[in-house]
Homo-oligomer: A and B are copies of this chain.
Amino acid sequence: MNNRIITISREFGSGGRTIGKMAAEKLGIPYYDKDLVKKVAVETGFDESYIEKQGEDAPSKSIFGYAFAARGMNGAMNGMSADDFLWVIQRNVILDLAEKGPCVIVGRCADYILKERTDCLNVFVHAAAETRAERIVRLYGETEKSPAKRLEEKDKKREVYYKYYTGQVWGMAKNYAISLDSGKLGLDQCVELITGLTNLRPEDVKR
């Protein structure tokens, strides 16, 4: 297929991860998300839960972050912050995965990391705040924080992380081949649209 790699960036609670999983299943290709994080964890010696927590959060310069870094890296960081080092490792893993074969990669700025490739379909999934609030409560349950607050915090973190590592504004349509409102279109329809674009031949893009 022409678009061998599908990257999915998504707003928290938009169902982007589920869409990615469904698309990978439908196409019979690997899906990377937490697996990717695990792979990173193995390669770096980072504590897995720390990576998972920090993976898409804004770079923290907290003592906590540095403590893990100092413990895990054995001086390999060359003066980089734990977050920056993690970024470099993740970037290499993503470049390797894309080289290896067709796959779906959710999150981790994979769209930006793979921007030089011509066989990559970058997708952004978003939805109205109310739709996402309803979804996170249904999937992850209630917490002390209101759903609106949880969305706001997560969105802000992803925005800052994306800006920090890519220099671009999070959520701009121009960074993606296709952006979809999963609330308006439905998850199944999003999967249909995405998987339908993996077989584009050059003659389909002639004008």
Contacts and interface: CB of A to CB of B under 8 A. Distances in A.
Nearest to A180: B178
A172 interface: yes
A189 interface: yes
A38 B156 CA distance: 43
Nearest to A128: B174
B184 A204 contact: no
Contacts of A193: 178, 193
Stoichiometry (number of copies): 2
A190 to B, nearest CB: 10
A180 B124 CA distance: 11
Chain B CB count within 10 A is highest, among A128, A172, A173, for: A173
A34 to B, nearest CB: 22
Given A186-B205, A189-B205, A200-B185, A174 B171 contact: yes
Interface of A: 11, 15, 124, 126, 128, 171-174, 176-181, 183-189, 193, 197, 200, 204-207
Given A173-B179, A185-B205, 10 more contacts: A126-B173, A172-B172, A172-B173, A173-B176, A177-B184, A178-B178, A178-B185, A186-B204, A188-B206, A189-B197
